[in-house]
Amino acid sequence: MKRDEVILVRGGGDLATGTIHRLWSAGLKVLVLEAEQPAAIRRQVSVSEAVYEGEAVVEGMRATLVQTLDEAVVIWCRGDVPVMVDPKGALIPQVRPAVVVDAILAKRNLGTTRDMAPLTIALGPGFTAGEDVDFVVETKRGHRLGRIIREGIAIPNTGVPGVIGGYSAERVVRAAREGIFHELRAIGDVVEPGDVIAEIEAFDGTRTPVTTCIGGILRGLLRDGYPVTMGFKVADVDPRREELENCFLISDKARCIAGSVLELVAEQLWK
How many CB atoms are closer than 10 A to CB 91? Answer: 17
Angle at 85 between CA 84 and CA 86, to 5 degrees: 105
pLDDT recorded at residue 269: 82
Q: What is the pLDDT along the chain (271 residues), one digit of tens a residue?
A: 455 589 999 999 999 999 999 999 999 999 999 999 999 999 999 999 999 999 999 999 999 999 999 999 999 999 999 999 999 999 999 999 999 999 999 999 999 999 999 999 999 999 999 999 999 999 998 999 999 999 999 999 877 777 777 888 899 999 999 999 999 999 999 999 999 999 999 989 999 999 999 999 999 999 999 999 999 999 999 999 888 998 999 999 999 999 999 999 999 887 7
- For residue 268, the model assigns a pLDDT of 86
pLDDT tens for 190-224 read 999 999 999 999 989 999 999 999 999 999 999 99
Instruction: Identify which of 175, 148, 155 has the alpha carbon closest to the alpha carbon of residue 233.
Output: 175
Residues ≥6 apart with Cβ < 8 Å to 137: 121, 122, 123, 124, 146, 147, 148, 149, 154, 257, 260, 261, 264
Strand 135-137 to 148-149 pairing: antiparallel
What is the per-residue pLDDT for 1? 45
Determine the pLDDT at residue 190.
Answer: 96
**Full 3-state SS string of the chain:** CCHHHEEEEECCCHHHHHHHHHHHHCCCEEEEEECCCCCCCCHHHCHHHHHHHCEEEECCEEEEECCCHHHHHHHHHCCCEEEEECCCCCCHHHHCCCEEEECCCCCCCCCCCHHHCCEEEEECCCCEECCCECEEECCCCCCCCCCEECCEECCCCCCCCCCECCECHHHEEECCCCEEEEECCCCCCEECCCCEEEEEECCCCCEEEEECCCCEEEEEECCCCCEECCCCEEEEEECCCCCHHHHHCCCHHHHHHHHHHHHHHHHHHCC
Please report the pLDDT score of residue 4 as a whole number: 57
